[in-house]
Amino acid sequence: MQQDFNVYTQSGALDSLQHRVLRNTYWLLGLSLIPTAIGALVGINLSFAFMAASPILSSLLFLGVIYGLFFAIEANKHSTTGVYLLLLLTFVLGVMLGPLLQYTLAFRNGGQLISLAAGGTAVVFFSLAGIASSTKRNFSGMANFLMVGAIVLMVAVVANIFLQLPVMQLVLCAGFMLFSSLMILFNVSQIVHGGETNYITATLSLYMNIYNIFISLLQLLGAFGGDRR
């Protein structure tokens, strides 16, 4: 009887921890959208001529800054410094939306495309997060498959920095949408089943998935549905 009580107590404590991590993750995820929006407004009004003049160097510099912030966030994930660094990252990524938003707003239906991309991203996230939260299935088994997918995508991204192939860019967008969607299932499932207990790390992963889905969907909508002025 005592052993059964201990198991029940431990199970209850684990459930409480999982719900707390999930709640804090969603809270911080929502908060992170504020600096993203502010950064996007700043980015829309900036000139990115230096990127057009040296796309390879600027792309590599951008990747270096982003991965540097990734490392700093992970190194401080157990303190409030990690939260501040995460919000800084979301601001920087918001600013870096500038060129894509400027390009999209050049279309007659640019505002509509941005709204569709934002709405589509929200539908994808809430649908997949709901599935991962409500089903008993554990999606952690996708870890090896997702690791291979991440390596393939990163190699393709670096290759296209030098090749600059428009068709390859569209293929990458489709690939990132699929990969990021599967990652949402994986990340939320990890939280629900106790595989992830740090809400800063969880928020970072989910944020990047949402960000990748949005920019990929927006590029695809611009390529196939953009109405030139």
CA distance 153 to 56: 17
Question: pTM score, two decimals?
Answer: 0.87
Please say whether the beta carbons of 117 and 218 come within 8 A.
yes
How far, in Å, are 105, 106, 115, 222 from residue 111 at the CA level? 6, 9, 6, 11
Please say whether the beta carbons of 83 and 28 come within 8 A.
yes
> Count of domains in the chain?
1
Q: State the DSSP string of 60-118.
A: HHHHHHHHHHHHHHHHTTTSHHHHHHHHHHHHHHHHTTHHHHHHHHTBTTHHHHHHHHH
**Structural domain containing residue 6:** 2-225
CA distance 222 to 104: 6
Q: Residue 45: is it exposed, middle or buried by C-beta count within 10 angstroms (0-12/13-18/19+)? A: exposed
pLDDT of amino acid 76:
96
pLDDT of amino acid 9:
47
pLDDT for 54-68, tens place per residue?
777 777 788 888 999
pLDDT of amino acid 114:
95
In the chain, which stretches have pLDDT less than 70?
1-15, 52-53, 229
Tokens 């990163």 sit on residue: 154
